[in-house]
């Protein structure tokens, strides 16, 4: 659906159902250069099983208008405005990679908006090689190829796909090639407060980490879990792009945490 | 690197889409000869039907063996996804019917396979989908043929059998400027020689029956979604951008973006038309695909040798291959096909139509049949077979003359093919002498 956020047309996937702010809401936040389609195999289940879903495209990404935001702090604050625009008081928030840094900033700047946090394939600091940012400034498509070469695990590189007949790396490349990847990578590289922010939060949290993550290594993910005082699950055999590479495993873990919090268990 | 992996094409052809991790560790891709798949639970079945998760439901829609082939071809072509079909013709029909409805219009190259021409000229017309045929490399003709109801531009990367090479960069630019996708039948090229998506094409179709299979054992087709066309910006495709009633109002473009077309084709064409590829045929095609690049090198080498040799034979009246300087496609062939512009060539012999018939009937090794791309050398007289349903005028426009012999160069020892063709030329010479 289209939301007006700061007077700018903003697209948010609702998982294929009309958005109902009266239901428990799950907010999905995409990573660098990507969009709501990263969550295609999680959002639809939540939307059809008693939740409302928002998976927005950040400004200037895919179906959202506007200029890309320049810092993780600004992105976090923008997420609060997305929830407000949709009439949602608070939500379970799920972020992938850079998206989870934005989630941390949302929780810091608008803690009342956050019921729980789930980070997938992430870390407190996500350093970016300046050469990659320069490459993205020249050509988002070429930078995407480099990034995805590292981002997807060996199974995806061998062409395995959760959706029969599809090529997830090529899909990701196509999305990234048309999005402001350089701006996202720069924001990611500039953000250094992840560990400090994580340590300051008091909210139910969990991390889903990948055993073969080469962009946010498992060790860094575990350190973030400690900062957050969060539980974590490691999915072995997959790379950084877990929501796409191992969508069902991610979904089941999300369902367990969010479902248990909603039922008060 | 490929758009789908850091792996190189020859590795993709052998490995993509499958790892040996089942209970038995089968190194070869197993044949999943099953119609259907047991759901883990009622909720799991419901989730599959509602596209909440990926997986297999029924082999008309997807099948694990077929999916390996689809993912492998998509990776080789640089596409975001692929749909295998029961034949190349069903791949074309699925492409056209996914994009067009009654009242719509297609612009097609004139030089195309006879059955495709018949599909566009007659069968689609019965569905009130009209087609305008044009010399596809003529920029002015192409721009002039596009109407407000046009939905796609179609061509073959190497036209059959006229061997016109489509100027894919120019055609895709003009099509895209008009908000139209370019659909390319790349059967004669295979991804080993040219990947149309790299040159701007949006959808690629193959008859897998031909070089990709190579063995002549199975009929199969595939449609590759390039993922590089903005269906929303075009404004011509509400089927992809507006709610689709049979699937809970799903909006394919919003939900799937670069794989919207492939997902729509899967959800609609495979469900409703049902031209599914059998798992056994997919397995056979996979066996061919694994050695595609090796075979294509041999096909190209033999094709070049035969073309060169035929040009020196006194009973040969003309030879056409895109790599020849005499071909109108020479320049574009060099640009798009640096490793060889296919292994099909055509030629005429003394004695006209009767001479051509004598040539074909006297061959001992090459097979006279209606196929191309087999590992064996194949010959055909298009005017009386594949293109016989075309009018005289349409035949000429398609680049077919009465004396034309089409050759699909095989990978036998070149000396044996030359000896065989020498027999044919002698026979043609005898016919010409009696005229």
Sorted by where each begins, the domain ranges of chain B are 9-288, 293-434
- The SS3 assignment for B421 reads helix
Residue-averaged pLDDT of chain A: 96
Looking at residue B270, the DSSP 8-state letter turns out to be I
Q: In chain B, which residues have their Cβ closer than 8 Å to the Cβ of A156?
A: 5
Q: Which residues of B48-76 are buried (b: 16+ CB within 10 A; e: fewer)?
A: bebbbbbbbeebebbbbbbbbbbbbbbbb
CA distance A130 to A101: 19
Residue-averaged pLDDT of chain B: 95
Q: Higher confidence at residue B201 or residue B387?
A: B201
Quote the pLDDT of residue A74: 98
> Is B386 a residue whose pLDDT tops 90?
no
Check if A163 contacts B (Cβ < 8 Å).
yes
For the ranges A80-89, A229-238, B13-22, B284-293, which has the lowest average pLDDT?
A: B13-22
The CATH code for residues B9-288 is 3.40.640.10
Check if A162 contacts B (Cβ < 8 Å).
yes
- The SS3 assignment for A115 reads strand
CA distance A39 to B204: 27
Q: Are B248 and B191 in contact (CB under 8 A)?
A: no
Confidence of residue A265 (pLDDT cuts 50, 70, 90): low
Chain B: give the shortest CA distance to residue A254, in Å.
14
CA distances from A3 to A8, A37, B224 (A): 8, 17, 34
CA distance B435 to B433: 6
- Residues A104-114: pLDDT tens digits? 999 999 999 99
CA distances from B268 to B51, B58, B81, B203, B230 (A): 13, 14, 15, 17, 20
Gyration radius of chain A's alpha carbons: 17
Beta-ladder partners of A207 = A119, A232
Tell me what the mean pLDDT of segment A209-213 comes to.
97
- Asked if the Cβ–Cβ distance from A40 to B255 is below 8 Å, we say yes
Fold of the domain built from segment(s) A2-125+191-263: Rossmann fold (3.40.50)
β B150-156/B105-109 pair status: parallel
Q: Are B300 and B190 in contact (CB under 8 A)?
A: no
Looking at residue B309, the DSSP 8-state letter turns out to be H
Which residues, including other chains, have CB under 8 Å from residue A245's CB and lie 6 or more apart? A152, A153, A155, A156, A162, A168, A210, A238, A239
* Domain assignments of chain A as residue spans, ordered by start: 2-125+191-263
CA distance B139 to B6: 37
Nearest beta carbon to residue B255 from set A16, A160, A161: A16
CA distance B384 to B220: 25
Tell me what the mean pLDDT of segment B345-365 comes to.
93
Chain B: give the shortest CA distance to residue A45, in Å.
5
The encoded tokens of residue B353 equal 């139509």
> CA nearest B68 in A: which residue?
A165
Confidence of residue B1 (pLDDT cuts 50, 70, 90): very low
Q: In chain A, which residues have their Cβ closer than 8 Å to the Cβ of B82?
A: 165
Q: In chain A, which residues have their Cβ closer than 8 Å to the Cβ of B259?
A: 163, 166, 171
Chain A: give the shortest CA distance to residue B299, in Å.
28
β B81-85/B105-109 pair status: unpaired
Nearest CA to B259 among A36, A63, A170? A170
Chain A: give the shortest CA distance to residue B254, in Å.
8
Which of A33, A48, A167 is most worth mutating to test chain B (most B CB atoms within 10 A of its CB)?
A: A167
Fold of the domain built from segment(s) B293-434: 3.90.1150
- Asked if the Cβ–Cβ distance from B250 to A165 is below 8 Å, we say no
For the ranges A41-45, B272-276, B284-288, B397-401, which has the lowest average pLDDT?
A: B397-401
CA distance B353 to B358: 9
> CA nearest B7 in A: which residue?
A157
């Amino acid at each position: 659906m289209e939301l007006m956020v700061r007077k700018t047309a903003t697209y948010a996937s609702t998982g294929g159902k009309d958005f109902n702010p009266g239901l428990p809401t799950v907010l999905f936040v995409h990573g660098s250069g990507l969009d709501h389609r990263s969550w295609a195999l999680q959002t639809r289940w939540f939307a059809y099983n008693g939740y409302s879903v928002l998976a927005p495209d950040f400004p200037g990404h895919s179906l959202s208008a506007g200029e890309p935001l320049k810092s993780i702090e600004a992105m976090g604050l923008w997420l609060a405005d997305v929830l407000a625009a949709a009439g949602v008081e608070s939500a379970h928030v799920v972020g992938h990679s850079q998206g989870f840094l934005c989630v941390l900033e949302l929780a810091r700047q608008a803690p009342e908006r956050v019921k729980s946090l789930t980070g997938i394939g992430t870390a407190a600091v996500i350093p970016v090689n300046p050469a990659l940012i320069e490459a993205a400034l020249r050509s988002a498509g070429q930078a995407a190829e480099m990034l995805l070469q590292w981002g997807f695990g060996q199974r995806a590189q061998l062409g395995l796909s959760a959706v029969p007949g599809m090529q997830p790396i090529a899909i990701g490349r196509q999305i990234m090639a048309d999005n402001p990847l350089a701006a996202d990578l720069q924001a990611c590289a500039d953000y250094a407060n992840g560990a400090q922010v994580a340590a300051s939060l008091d909210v139910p949290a969990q991390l889903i980490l990948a055993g073969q993550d080469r962009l946010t290594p498992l060790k860094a993910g575990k350190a973030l879990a400690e900062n957050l005082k969060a539980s974590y699950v490691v999915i072995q055999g997959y790379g950084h792009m877990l929501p796409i590479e191992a969508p069902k495993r991610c979904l089941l873990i999300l369902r367990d945490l969010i479902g248990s919090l909603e039922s008060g268990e | 690197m490929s758009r789908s992996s850091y792996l190189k094409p020859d590795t993709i052809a052998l490995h993509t889409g499958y790892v040996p991790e089942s209970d038995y560790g089968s190194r070869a891709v197993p044949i999943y000869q099953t119609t259907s798949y047991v759901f883990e639970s009622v909720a799991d079945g419901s989730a599959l039907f509602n596209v909440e998760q990926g997986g297999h439901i029924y082999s008309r829609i997807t099948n694990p063996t077929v999916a390996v082939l689809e993912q492998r071809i998509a990776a080789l072509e640089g596409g975001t996804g692929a749909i295998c079909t029961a034949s190349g013709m069903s791949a074309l029909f699925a492409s056209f019917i996914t994009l067009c409805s009654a009242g719509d219009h297609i612009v097609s190259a004139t030089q195309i396979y006879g059955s495709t021409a018949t599909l566009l000229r007659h069968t689609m017309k019965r569905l009130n989908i009209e087609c305008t045929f044009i010399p596809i490399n003529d920029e002015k003709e192409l721009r002039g043929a596009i109407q407000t109801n046009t939905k796609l531009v179609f061509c073959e990367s190497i036209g059959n059998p006229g061997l016109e090479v489509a100027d894919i960069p120019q055609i895709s630019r003009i099509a895209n400027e008009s908000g139209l996708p370019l659909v390319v039948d790349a059967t004669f090229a295979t991804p080993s020689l040219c990947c149309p998506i790299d040159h701007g094409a949006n959808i690629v179709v193959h008859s897998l029956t031909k070089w990709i299979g190579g063995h002549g054992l199975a009929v199969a087709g595939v449609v590759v979604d390039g993922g590089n066309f903005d269906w929303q910006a075009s404004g011509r495709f509400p089927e992809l951008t507006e709610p689709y009633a049979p699937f809970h109002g799903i909006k394919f473009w919003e939900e799937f973006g670069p794989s919207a077309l492939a997902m729509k084709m899967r959800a609609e064409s495979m469900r409703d038309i049902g031209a599914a590829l059998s798992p056994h045929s997919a397995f056979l095609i996979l066996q061919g695909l694994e050695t595609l690049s090796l075979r294509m090198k041999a096909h190209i080498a033999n094709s070049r040798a035969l073309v060169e040799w035929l040009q020196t034979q006194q009973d040969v009246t003309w030879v056409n291959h895109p790599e020849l300087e005499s071909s109108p496609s020479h320049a574009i062939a060099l640009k798009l096909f640096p490793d060889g512009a296919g292994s099909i060539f055509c030629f005429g012999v003394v004695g006209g139509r009767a001479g051509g018939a004598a040539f074909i009937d006297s061959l001992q090794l090459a097979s006279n049949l209606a196929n191309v791309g087999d590992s064996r050398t194949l010959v055909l007289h298009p005017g009386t077979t594949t293109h016989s349903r075309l009018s005289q005028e349409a035949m000429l426009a398609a680049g077919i003359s009465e004396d034309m012999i089409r050759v699909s160069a095989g990978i036998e020892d070149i000396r044996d093919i030359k000896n065989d063709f020498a027999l044919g030329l002698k026979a043609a010479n005898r016919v010409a002498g009696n005229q």
